[in-house]
Every structure is written in C-alpha cells, then in structure tokens.
Amino acid sequence: MAKEHSLDITAQIDKQEMKNAIDQAKREVTNRYDFKGLPAEIDYNEKAKTIILVSSSDNKVEAMMDIVISKIIKRGISSKAVNEHSRESVSGGNVKLTLAIKDVIGKEDAKKIVKEIKSKKLKVTPQIQGDEIRVKSKSIDELQATMRIVKEMDLDLPISFTNMQ
C-alpha cells in the first residue's frame, strides 16, 4: 500500500524575522545623513499587522518604505507580505504611511488556488483548512508539480510550502 504524502500551502511569515527587519530599518534610518534632524518614525504593530512610517515629506516616507522592504527581503520574507494601506497628512506637516502585512490566504485566493490545482488534472486532493490549503497525494512528484503551479500563479501573497511529508 502506497503511503500518502501531503503539504500545506500558507502565507505565513516569520514574525521574529519581521521584527528583526524592522529593527534593522530603524537603525539604518537613524544613521542615514538625509534623515538627520528630521522626524522619522517606524512603528511595528504585530497584533494589528501594520507598519506605520512617519516623516516630513512623501519622498522621505517613500525612502523609509524602500528601506523597510529591502530589510524584509534580506530577512527572507517576500516583499508581497507588505503593501501600502493608507497615506495621510498628520500634525506638523508630516506624512504618515501605513503598510499592511498580509500573512493569511483569504477565502477568495484559497478558492482560486484550489480551482487552478484541480484544473491541471493532477492526482492530488486540495482542501481548504482555515487560512491554509492542505494538498494530499500518493506521489511526491505530483506535490512538487502542485508547488510549481501555485508559484506560477503569481499571487499577491507571500506563498510558502510547509509540512511536506
């Protein structure tokens, strides 16, 4: 009897690596010459899944966002995990940029992934389980083909594959 294999498709990110990336970004902004004497705040709220950037102008906020994203990428987290949520003017003529962190696969995206997997007629059974998708098969090759299919979909999510057995 053949053993059944499985893998989980998730959008989870490593929260500790995210904290480390934010800390590195804060240090770089503090040490950069073009931010000397200017307001420059980076605030990471893990529970709300947001990163708030505050600085004196749109250009400075954009530079801070570039720094944050580059540090996130260096820490092995997909840049798709962060996207711009809102931008507004705040007191003192400063600009506040809120970045939203995506670390779950929404229902619509999960349905789209399952539909795409099923359309390829692979010998796998995908199931949506909360905010992840479990894919089962008797063949590891079929699971690897499933991984390729999901990667090629180019979703706006930080897709990762875990628990491959």
Q: What is the pLDDT of residues 3-50, one digit of tens each?
A: 788 888 888 888 899 999 999 999 998 998 888 888 888 899 989 899
- Is residue 124 within 8 Å of residue 116, measured between CB atoms? no
- Is residue 124 within 8 Å of residue 137, measured between CB atoms? yes
With cut-offs at 50, 70 and 90, classify the pLDDT of residue 64.
very high
Residue 69 has pLDDT above 70, yes or no: yes
Cα separation of 26 and 143, whole Å?
40
Cα separation of 149 and 146, whole Å?
5
Locate the DSSP E strands across 48-101.
Answer: 50-55, 82-90, 94-101
- Amino acid at position 15, single letter: K
Q: What would the two tokens of residue 67 be? A: 């720094």
With cut-offs at 50, 70 and 90, classify the pLDDT of residue 153.
confident
Between the CA of residue 6 and those of 66, 78, 107, 137, 146, what are the distances in Å?
A: 37, 23, 21, 6, 11
pLDDT at 2: 55
Q: What is the DSSP letter of 36?
A: T
pLDDT tens digits, one per residue of 76-121:
888 888 988 888 888 888 899 999 998 888 888 888 888 888 888 8
pLDDT at 105: 87
- Is residue 124 within 8 Å of residue 43, measured between CB atoms? no
Cα separation of 68 and 49, whole Å?
15
Phi, psi (degrees; rounded to nearest 5) at 14 = -80, 110
pLDDT at 142: 86
With cut-offs at 50, 70 and 90, classify the pLDDT of residue 127.
confident
pTM over 0.85: no
pLDDT at 1: 39
Instruction: Give the mean pLDDT of 43-64.
Output: 89
